[in-house]
Structure 1
Amino acid sequence: MSVYTLDDFARLIDHTDLHADATREDMVQLCKEAKEYHFKMVAINQVQSKLCAEQLAGTDIDTGAAIAFPLGQTTIEAKEFETQNAIDNGANEIDYVINITELKAKNYAYIEDEMTRIVKICHAAGIPCKVIFENPYLTKDEIKQVALIAKRVQPDFIKTATGFGPSGATVEDVRLMKATVGPDVKVKAAGGIRNSDDFLAMIAAGAQRIGTSSGIKIINALKERMATDGVTSIEVDDGR
Structure 2
Amino acid sequence: MDFTVAQIAKMIDHSILRPEFTSEDVRKGCAIAARYEVASVCVRLCDVPLAVQLLRGTGVEVGTVIGFPHGDTPTVIKVAETELAIEQGATEVDMVINVGWLRSGNIAAVENEIGAVVRAAGGAPVKVILENAYLTNEQKLAACWASERAGAAFVKSSTGFAPTGATIDDLALMRSAVSAKVRVKASGGVRSLDQLVAMAAVGVTRFGSSSTEEILEDLARRNALALAVPALRD
* TM-score, normalised via structure 2 length: 0.95
In 1, the alpha carbon distance for the partners of 2:58 and 2:37 equals 9
Describe how 1:34-53 pairs up with structure 2 within 5 A: 34-53=33-52
The answer for unaligned runs of 5 or more in structure 1 is 232-240
One-letter identity of the residue aligned with 2:28: Q
Q: How many residues align?
A: 228
One-letter identity of the residue aligned with 1:195: S
Contact 1:157 1:188 in 2 (8 A): yes
CA deviation after TM superposition for structure 1 residue 228, in Å: 1.1
1:30 aligns with 2:39: no
1:4 aligns with 2:3: yes
Structure 1 SS opposite 2:14? strand
Describe how 1:1-240 pairs up with structure 2 within 5 A: 4-122=3-121, 124=122, 126-230=123-227
Contact 2:37 2:58 in 1 (8 A): no
One-letter identity of the residue aligned with 1:197: D
> Can you list the C-alpha shifts for 1:37-86, whole angstroms capped at 9, x where unaligned?
11111111111111101111112101111111110010110000011111
Contact 1:15 1:34 in 2 (8 A): yes
CA deviation after TM superposition for structure 1 residue 172, in Å: 0.5
* TM-score, normalised via structure 1 length: 0.92
Bigger Rg over Cα: 2
Structure 1 SS opposite 2:205? strand
In 1, the alpha carbon distance for the partners of 2:68 and 2:124 equals 19
One-letter identity of the residue aligned with 2:204: A
RMSD in angstroms over aligned alpha carbons? 1.3
CA deviation after TM superposition for structure 1 residue 149, in Å: 1.1
In 2, the alpha carbon distance for the partners of 1:91 and 1:50 equals 8
The structure, 1 or 2, with the larger RCO (C-alpha pairs under 8 Å, 6+ apart) is 1
Q: By percentage of residues, which structure has more strand?
A: 1
